[in-house]
C-alpha cells in the first residue's frame, strides 16, 4: 500500500514560485488596488494583466481544469497544495484563474454545456473576458431546492423566468448569471430586461427576476436537471473553500505565534503563559487535522470522483468553518484590542467564519449527510447485547480454546480466574 506525504521536487518548485509571487506581487496589489483583478479600467488592467501572464507562463492558469479545457490538469490534490498559498491573498485565486464563483460555473459548462455554449461562455470565462455569478438560494427557502419557487416557463422560442434570489455572490459585477430554477439551470445575461439587483447586501446580492426572457439554448444541461447540476457544482466548491480556509487558518496562526513572542504581560512574554500555550497547541493540532482531512479528500476525488467523496467533502465543509472560527478567535484574543479593529486581518477572518458555516449549505445539513452516509456502512447488532459486549465475546473466545482447556485443567483455572477479575 502506497502511503506518501511528500511533494515531487518539480511541483515543490512551482509551490515555491507561487508563494514568492503572491508575497511580492499580489499582496502589494491587494493593499493598494483592492478589487483590481475584476476592474474594466484599462489603466488598472495594465497592472493586473501582466501578473496573469506570468501565471500563464508558469503553466499555472486555471488549475482546476483538465488540460483539454485549457488548464494544467493537476488534479485536486495539487490544487489543494496551491490553494494553501492562494487563500492567504484576496486577489490570488482570480489572478490564477481559479476564483469563485467562476470556477464552479466553468465546471458546469465544461461538464454539461454544448459545444456552442462552451464557445459562448466557457472559454470567455476561462480567459476572464467575462465574469459570472451563481444565483441559487432564495429568501424564503435558503439553499433547499425543494423550497425554491423561481421557475422558467417556455414561451415559443424563449424561456420566461420569474422568481427571487438571495445571496448571489458577485452578482452585481457579473456578466452572466447561472440561475437555478425549479426546472433547470439557465444562463442569464445580467443586463437582461427584468433582472433587478437590490441595493443590499452589497456583495452577496438580492436579485429579482421578473419576466426575464432568454433563448431556449440558454438552458444548461437537461430540463429538470437543476439538482444534479447543483450537486456537481457545489461539491467541488465546498472542497475548494476548505482548501483556501486552511490558508486563512495558517495566516491567523502565524500572526498568533508572532504576537505571542513579541508582547509582554505580567512581567513575561505572553508566550510563556499556559493559557496562550494552550491556544497555540490546540490551533496547531486543529489546523493540521483539517489539512490532512482536506488533502485526503482531494486525493479521493482524484482517484474516484466528487460523488464518491461526498461524505468527506461534507466533513471538510463544516470542519473548515469550525477551525477558522476557533483559530481566528484565539488569535484575536492574543492580539488584544488591536485584534478587534480592522488594522489586521483577524477581525475579517473571525467575522467571515459564520458565513463559511452557511455558504454552500449550512453546516448542520452537512453533518446530517455525514452521519447518514457513515451509518450506511453499519448494521444493528443481533440479540440483546452489542457486538462489543465482553462477556459474550469472551464466551465465544473460550470455544476457540475448548480443546486445550479440556486437556489442561490449570489453563481452565487460569481462564476462570481472569474472567472473575475482569467482571468483578
214 and 233 belong to one structural domain: no
Distance CA 250, CA 228 (A): 34
Q: 213: helix, coil or strand?
A: strand
215 and 276 belong to one structural domain: no
Residue 125 included in any domain: no
- Contact present, 88 and 121 (Cβ < 8 Å): no
407 and 365 belong to one structural domain: no
Q: What is the DSSP string of 225-253?
A: -HHHHHHHHHHHHHHHHHHHHHHHHHHHH
Per-residue CA distances from 329 to 137, 252, 261, 334, 341 (Å): 29, 9, 18, 9, 13
User: Full-prediction pTM beyond 0.85?
Assistant: yes
> Strand 176-181 and strand 132-135: pairing?
parallel
Distance CA 22, CA 86 (A): 7
Residue 383 included in any domain: no
Which residues pair with residue 185 across a beta bridge? 180, 220
What's the pLDDT score for residue 1? 59
Residue 4 included in any domain: no
For residue 241, give every residue at least 6 positions away whose Cβ sits within 8 Å of its Cβ, in sequence order, or none: 100, 317, 320, 356, 359, 360
| CATH number, domain containing residue 23 | 1.10.540.10
369 and 250 belong to one structural domain: yes
State how many domains the chain has: 4
Distance CA 272, CA 178 (A): 53
Cβ neighbours of 245 (radius 10 Å): 29
342 and 243 belong to one structural domain: yes
**What's the maximum distance between 2 C-alpha atoms anywhere in the chain?**
94
Q: What is the DSSP string of 270-311?
A: GGGSHHHHHHHHHHHHHHHHHHHHHHHHHHHHHHS-TTTTHH
Residue 124 included in any domain: no
| DSSP letter assigned to residue 269 | E
Which of 168, 203, 220 is the last residue before a domain boundary?
220
209 and 91 belong to one structural domain: no
Residue 371 included in any domain: yes
For residue 204, give every residue at least 6 positions away whose Cβ sits within 8 Å of its Cβ, in sequence order, or none: 167, 168, 169, 171
CA 88, distance to chain mean position in Å, is: 14
Distance CA 223, CA 219 (A): 7
For residue 399, give every residue at least 6 positions away whose Cβ sits within 8 Å of its Cβ, in sequence order, or none: none
Apex 225 CA angle, 308 and 240, nearest 5: 45
206 and 253 belong to one structural domain: no
Tens-digit pLDDT profile for residues 58-110: 999 998 887 777 678 888 999 999 999 999 999 999 999 999 899 999 989 99
332 and 310 belong to one structural domain: yes
- Contact present, 184 and 224 (Cβ < 8 Å): yes
Tens-digit pLDDT profile for residues 290-338: 999 999 999 999 999 888 999 999 999 999 999 999 999 999 999 999 9
What's the pLDDT score for residue 2? 67
| CATH number, domain containing residue 346 | 1.20.140.10
Q: Any idea of the CA torsion for 182, 118, 235, 61, to the nearest 10 degrees? A: -150
58 and 87 belong to one structural domain: yes
Q: 137: helix, coil or strand?
A: coil
Task: Give, for all 424 residues of the chain, the pLDDT tens digit.
Answer: 567 889 999 999 999 999 999 999 999 999 999 999 999 999 999 999 999 999 999 999 998 887 777 678 888 999 999 999 999 999 999 999 999 899 999 989 998 999 999 999 999 999 999 999 999 999 998 888 899 999 999 999 999 999 999 999 999 999 999 999 999 999 999 999 999 999 999 999 999 999 999 999 999 999 999 999 988 888 788 899 999 999 999 999 999 999 999 999 999 999 999 999 999 999 999 999 999 999 999 999 999 988 899 999 999 999 999 999 999 999 999 999 999 999 999 999 999 999 999 888 889 999 999 999 999 999 999 999 999 999 999 999 999 999 999 999 899 899 889 888 887 7
Which of 220, 241, 257 is the last residue before a domain boundary?
220
What's the pLDDT score for residue 332? 97
Distance CA 340, CA 347 (A): 6
76 and 161 belong to one structural domain: no
Which domain does 166 fall in, by range?
132-220
Q: 126: helix, coil or strand?
A: helix
For residue 280, give every residue at least 6 positions away whose Cβ sits within 8 Å of its Cβ, in sequence order, or none: 253, 256, 257, 260, 271
Over the range 180-190, which residues count as b (16 or more CB within 10 Å of their CB) and which as e?
A: bbbbbbbbbeb
Which of 220, 249, 273 is the last residue before a domain boundary?
220
Amino acid at each position: 500500500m502506497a502511503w506518501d506525504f511528500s511533494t515531487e521536487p518539480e511541483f515543490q518548485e512551482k509551490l515555491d514560485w507561487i508563494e514568492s509571487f503572491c508575497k511580492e506581487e499580489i499582496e502589494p496589489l491587494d493593499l493598494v488596488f483592492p478589487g483590481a483583478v475584476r476592474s474594466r479600467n484599462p489603466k488598472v488592467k495594465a497592472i493586473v494583466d501582466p501578473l496573469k501572464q506570468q501565471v500563464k507562463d508558469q503553466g499555472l492558469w486555471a488549475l482546476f481544469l483538465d488540460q483539454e479545457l485549457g488548464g494544467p490538469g493537476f488534479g485536486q490534490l495539487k490544487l489543494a497544495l496551491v490553494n494553501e498559498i492562494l487563500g492567504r491573498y484576496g486577489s490570488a485565486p482570480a489572478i490564477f484563474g481559479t476564483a469563485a464563483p467562476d470556477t464552479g460555473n466553468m465546471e458546469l459548462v465544461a461538464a454539461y454545456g454544448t459545444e456552442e455554449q462552451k464557445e459562448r461562455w466557457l472559454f470567455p470565462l476561462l480567459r476572464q473576458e467575462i465574469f459570472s455569478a451563481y444565483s441559487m438560494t432564495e429568501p424564503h427557502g435558503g439553499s433547499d431546492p425543494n423550497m425554491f419557487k423561481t421557475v422558467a416557463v417556455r414561451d415559443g422560442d424563449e424561456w420566461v423566468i420569474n422568481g427571487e434570489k438571495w445571496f448571489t455572490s458577485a452578482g452585481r459585477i457579473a456578466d452572466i448569471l447561472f440561475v437555478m430554477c425549479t426546472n433547470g439551470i439557465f444562463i442569464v445575461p445580467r443586463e437582461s430586461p427584468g433582472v433587478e439587483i437590490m441595493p443590499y447586501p452589497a456583495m452577496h446580492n438580492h436579485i429579482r427576476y421578473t419576466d426575464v426572457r432568454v433563448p431556449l439554448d440558454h438552458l444548461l444541461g437537461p430540463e429538470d436537471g437543476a439538482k444534479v447540476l447543483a450537486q456537481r457544482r457545489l461539491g467541488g466548491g465546498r472542497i475548494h473553500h476548505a482548501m483556501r480556509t486552511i490558508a486563512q487558518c495558517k495566516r491567523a496562526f502565524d500572526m498568533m505565534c508572532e504576537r505571542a513572542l513579541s508582547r509582554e504581560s505580567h512581567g513575561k512574554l505572553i508566550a510563556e503563559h499556559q493559557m496562550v500555550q494552550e491556544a497555540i497547541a490546540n490551533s496547531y493540532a486543529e489546523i493540521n487535522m483539517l489539512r490532512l482531512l482536506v488533502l485526503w479528500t482531494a486525493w479521493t476525488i482524484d482517484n474516484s470522483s466528487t460523488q464518491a467523496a461526498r461524505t468527506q467533502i461534507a466533513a471538510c465543509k463544516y470542519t473548515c468553518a469550525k477551525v477558522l472560527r476557533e483559530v481566528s478567535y484565539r488569535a484575536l484574543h492574543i492580539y488584544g484590542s488591536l485584534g478587534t479593529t480592522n488594522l489586521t486581518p483577524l477581525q475579517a477572518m473571525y467575522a467571515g467564519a459564520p458565513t463559511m458555516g452557511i455558504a454552500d449549505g449550512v453546516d448542520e445539513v452537512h453533518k446530517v449527510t455525514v452521519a447518514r452516509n457513515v451509518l450506511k456502512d453499519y448494521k444493528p447488532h443481533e440479540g440483546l447485547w452489542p457486538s462489543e459486549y465482553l462477556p459474550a465475546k469472551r464466551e465465544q473466545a473460550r470455544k476457540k480454546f475448548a480443546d486445550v482447556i479440556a486437556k489442561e485443567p490449570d489453563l481452565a483455572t487460569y481462564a476462570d480466574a481472569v474472567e472473575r477479575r475482569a467482571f468483578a
